[in-house]
Chain A
Amino acid sequence: MSKRTVELELATPGVDAEGRPARVPLTVAAEPRLNEEHMLVNIGPQHPATHGVLRLVVELDGETVVRCIPHLGYLHSGFEKLGEYRHYNQIIPLTDRTDYLSPMSNNVGLALAAEKLMGIEITPRCTVLRVIACEMSRIISHMVWLGTTSIDLGAFTPFLWAFQERERIYDLQEMWTGARLTTSLTRVGGLMADIPDPFVEKLREFTRTFPKTLGEIDRVLTRNAVWAGRTQGVGTLSAAEAINHSLSGPMLRASGVAYDVRKDKPYLGYETYDFDVVVGEHGDVFDRYMVRLEECHQSNRILAQALDRLPDGPINVDDPRVILPSKTRAMSDMEAMIFHFKQVMEGVKAPVGEAYVGIENPKGELGNYLVSDGTAKPVRWRIRPPSFINLSALPRMAEGHLLSDLIAINASVDIVMGEVDR
Chain B
Amino acid sequence: MTAATSVPPVPGALRSEVARDGETVVFVAKERLLEAMRWLKETPGQEFDYLVDVTAVEFRDRERPLQVVYFLRSLQRKADVRVKVELPASEELAVDSVYSLWRGADWLEREVFDMFGVTFRGHPDLRRILMWETYAEGYPLRKSFPLRGRFSRAEQVRQALNVNPEANYSLEELSIADAAGDLPDDMRERLQRGERGVIPDPPAR
Please pick, from A76, A356, A379, the residue contacting B82 in the complex, using a CB distance under 8 A: A356
Q: Decide: A373 near B61, CB < 8 A? Known: A76-B131, A246-B50, A356-B21.
A: yes
Once bound together, how far apart are the Cα atoms of A241 and B104, in whole Å? 10
Q: Is B172 an interface residue (CB 8 A)?
A: yes
- A153 CB to nearest chain B CB (Å): 26
- Contact status B147-A36, CB under 8 Å: no
The residues of B that contact A379 with a CB separation of less than 8 Å are: 57-60
Q: Is B20 an interface residue (CB 8 A)?
A: yes
Q: Is A96 an interface residue (CB 8 A)?
A: no
**23 A-B pairs in the complex with CB atoms less than 8 angstroms apart:** A57-B170, A59-B173, A71-B168, A241-B103, A243-B50, A245-B104, A246-B52, A246-B105, A265-B80, A352-B2, A353-B20, A355-B21, A356-B21, A357-B21, A358-B52, A365-B52, A367-B53, A373-B59, A379-B57, A379-B60, A392-B103, A396-B103, A422-B130
- Contact status A392-B176, CB under 8 Å: no
Once bound together, how far apart are the Cα atoms of A373 and B64, in whole Å? 12
Please pick, from A40, A78, A265, A392, the residue contacting B106 in the complex, using a CB distance under 8 A: A392
Q: Is B10 an interface residue (CB 8 A)?
A: no
In the complex, chain B residues 21-72 whose Cβ is within 8 Å of any chain A Cβ: 21, 23, 25, 49-53, 55, 57-61, 69, 71
- Contact status A380-B58, CB under 8 Å: yes
Once bound together, how far apart are the Cα atoms of A69 and B173, in whole Å? 9
Give A55's nearest chain B residue, CB to CB.
B168
In the complex, chain A residues 338-395 whose Cβ is within 8 Å of any chain B Cβ: 351-358, 365, 367, 369, 371, 373, 379-380, 382, 384, 388-389, 391-393
Q: Is B75 an interface residue (CB 8 A)?
A: yes
Q: Is A37 an interface residue (CB 8 A)?
A: yes
The residues of B that contact A245 with a CB separation of less than 8 Å are: 102-104
The residues of A that contact B55 with a CB separation of less than 8 Å are: 369, 380, 382
- Contact status B140-A81, CB under 8 Å: yes
Interface size grouping (class) on chain B: 35 or more
- Contact status A355-B71, CB under 8 Å: no
In the complex, chain B residues 59-108 whose Cβ is within 8 Å of any chain A Cβ: 59-61, 69, 71, 75, 78, 80, 82, 102-108
Q: Is A306 an interface residue (CB 8 A)?
A: no
Tell me how many residues of A have a C-beta within 8 Å of chain B.
55
Q: Decide: A244 near B170, CB < 8 A? Known: A73-B132, A264-B78.
A: no
The residues of B that contact A384 with a CB separation of less than 8 Å are: 52-53, 71
Q: Is A133 an interface residue (CB 8 A)?
A: no
Q: Is B19 an interface residue (CB 8 A)?
A: yes
Q: B residues touching A (Cβ–Cβ < 8 Å)?
A: 1-2, 19-21, 23, 25, 49-53, 55, 57-61, 69, 71, 75, 78, 80, 82, 102-108, 111, 115, 128-132, 140-141, 145, 147, 168-170, 172-173, 176-177, 203
The residues of B that contact A264 with a CB separation of less than 8 Å are: 75, 78
- Contact status A244-B102, CB under 8 Å: yes
Q: Is A117 an interface residue (CB 8 A)?
A: yes
The residues of A that contact B172 with a CB separation of less than 8 Å are: 67, 69
Once bound together, how far apart are the Cα atoms of A352 and B115, in whole Å? 24
Q: Is A119 an interface residue (CB 8 A)?
A: yes
Please pick, from A78, A373, A392, the residue contacting B140 in the complex, using a CB distance under 8 A: A78
Give B133's nearest chain A residue, CB to CB.
A71
Give A241's nearest chain B residue, CB to CB.
B103
Please pick, from B21, B57, B129, the residue contacting A116 in the complex, using a CB distance under 8 A: B21
